């Protein structure tokens, strides 16, 4: 029996666009799904379906092709130049100033598809996406976050009986967001979504095994690198979590078990942030090998 042919699925409309015609076979392809609830694939069993598609005029008949095989990995010598993938990760920079030009819809769909294929613990795939491209909505969300941050920064510090932090208090806030709040122009607040025309909210499924927030970070990394490959700028927005203190989760259609924890701004860069040099801290790495430990930097 021939092996199944699996193609990416986005619904009946996508099937029609793939095969350019409305055919019975394309409709079958668009409705035959795998059983996994988190999957978006279609299964076309046996080579007979391929022949039927060709008979319908959906795809041309082609001769059998040799299977594509990956070349054997060759060890590169120490000190070799970075490859294309490594260079992309090293050169990408966060963008906090965007042009008003909207991102093409099909670009966003490509980015979401790359995110959907992210690795996850136990292949749990604990995510969902919300895309906002309405400028008025983005401005309204930003205003709420700004006002909330302004109230938080102006609130008097709570009195504590002991100078030593307790377990309930937890560690002090990271200095970077505190600095941002302190240096914001009076009456303006910090830029939350940086004028981006598109904002993606990767939602976290709290049922995910292990630490689903880590899986969400992997999803976000995949998406920002996909955007970078398309010539777009992106930026992680942790302050977006403040939207949970309003009715925005309901307005965005977010329901349990999904949670709004982050946002990613996407757009065409206005400036040249990608060529900025950003200092990276060097951390000590404990290296264990052959029964010995050494420190690596």
235 burial via Cβ count (<10 Å: 0-12, 13-18, 19+): buried
The maximal CA–CA distance of the chain, rounded, in angstroms, is 81
Say whether both 137 and 10 belong to one domain: no
> Is-contact 196 266, C-beta < 8 A?
yes
Say whether both 44 and 188 belong to one domain: no
Say whether both 271 and 182 belong to one domain: yes
Per the structure, the complete domain to which residue 123 belongs is given by: 105-153+174-275
Say whether both 15 and 138 belong to one domain: no
Domains contained in the chain, number: 2
211 domain residue, yes or no:
yes
- Say whether 233 sits in a helix, a strand or coil: strand
Backbone angle region of 232, left / alpha / beta, with phi > 0 → left and psi within -120 to 50 → alpha: beta
Mean pLDDT is lowest, of 11-25, 108-122, 219-233, for 11-25
Peptide bond into 257 cis (omega under 30): yes
288 domain residue, yes or no:
no
Closest CA to 204 of 249, 258, 264: 258
* Residue 222 CB partners (closer than 8 Å, separation 6+): 114, 115, 117, 118
Say whether both 127 and 35 belong to one domain: no
Say whether both 41 and 128 belong to one domain: no
Q: What is the CATH number of the domain that holds 192?
A: 3.40.109.10
Say whether both 111 and 24 belong to one domain: no
Say whether both 125 and 259 belong to one domain: yes
In this prediction, residues 72-96 reach a mean pLDDT of: 91
Q: What is the pLDDT of residues 53-68, one digit of tens each?
A: 445 554 444 555 566 5
Say whether both 50 and 180 belong to one domain: no
> Is-contact 140 248, C-beta < 8 A?
no
Mean pLDDT is lowest, of 42-51, 104-113, 118-127, 270-279, for 42-51
Say whether both 21 and 144 belong to one domain: no
Q: How far apart are CA 150 and CA 184, in angstroms?
A: 10
C-alpha distances (whole Å) from 258 to each of 124, 135, 205, 232, 251 are 14, 24, 4, 27, 14
65 domain residue, yes or no:
no
Backbone φ, ψ for residue 257 (5° rounding): -90, 15
Domain endpoint, select from 40, 55, 70: 55
In this prediction, residues 180-206 reach a mean pLDDT of: 81
Q: What is the pLDDT of residues 247-275, one digit of tens each?
A: 999 999 999 999 999 999 999 999 888 77
Say whether both 15 and 133 belong to one domain: no
Q: Which tokens in the block code for residue 188? A: 């303006």
68 domain residue, yes or no:
no
Consecutive H or E run containing 248: helix 248-251
- Please give the residue that has the higher pLDDT: either 192 or 17: 192
Say whether both 148 and 242 belong to one domain: yes
């Amino acid at each position: 029996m021939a092996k199944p042919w699996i193609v990416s699925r986005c619904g009946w409309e996508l099937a029609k666009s793939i095969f350019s015609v409305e055919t019975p076979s394309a409709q079958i392809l668009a409705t035959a799904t795998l059983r996994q609830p988190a999957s978006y694939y279609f299964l076309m069993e046996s080579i007979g379906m391929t022949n039927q598609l060709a008979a319908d005029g959906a795809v041309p008949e082609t001769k059998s092709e040799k299977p594509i095989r990956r070349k054997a990995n060759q060890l590169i010598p120490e000190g070799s130049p970075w490859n294309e993938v490594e260079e992309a990760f090293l050169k990408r920079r966060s963008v906090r100033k965007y042009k008003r030009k909207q991102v093409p819809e099909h670009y966003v769909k490509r980015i979401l598809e790359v995110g959907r294929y992210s690795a996850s613990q136990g292949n749990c795939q604990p995510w969902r996406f919300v895309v906002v491209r309405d400028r008025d909505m983005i401005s309204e969300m930003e205003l709420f976050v700004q006002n909330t941050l302004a109230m938080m920064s102006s609130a008097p510090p709570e009195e504590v009986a002991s100078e030593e932090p307790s377990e309930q208090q937890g560690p002090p806030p990271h200095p970077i967001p505190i600095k941002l709040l302190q240096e914001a122009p009076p009456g303006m607040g910090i830029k939350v979504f940086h004028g981006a025309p598109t904002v993606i909210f990767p939602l976290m499924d709290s049922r995910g095994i292990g630490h689903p927030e880590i899986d969400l970070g992997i999803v976000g990394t995949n998406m920002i690198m996909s955007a970078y490959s398309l010539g777009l700028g992106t930026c992680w927005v942790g302050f977006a979590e403040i939207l949970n203190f309003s009715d925005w989760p309901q307005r965005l259609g977010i329901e349990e078990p999904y949670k709004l924890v982050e946002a990613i701004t996407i757009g065409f860069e206005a400036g040249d942030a990608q060529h900025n040099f950003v200092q990276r801290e060097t951390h000590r790495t404990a290296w264990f090998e052959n029964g010995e430990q050494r420190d690596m930097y």
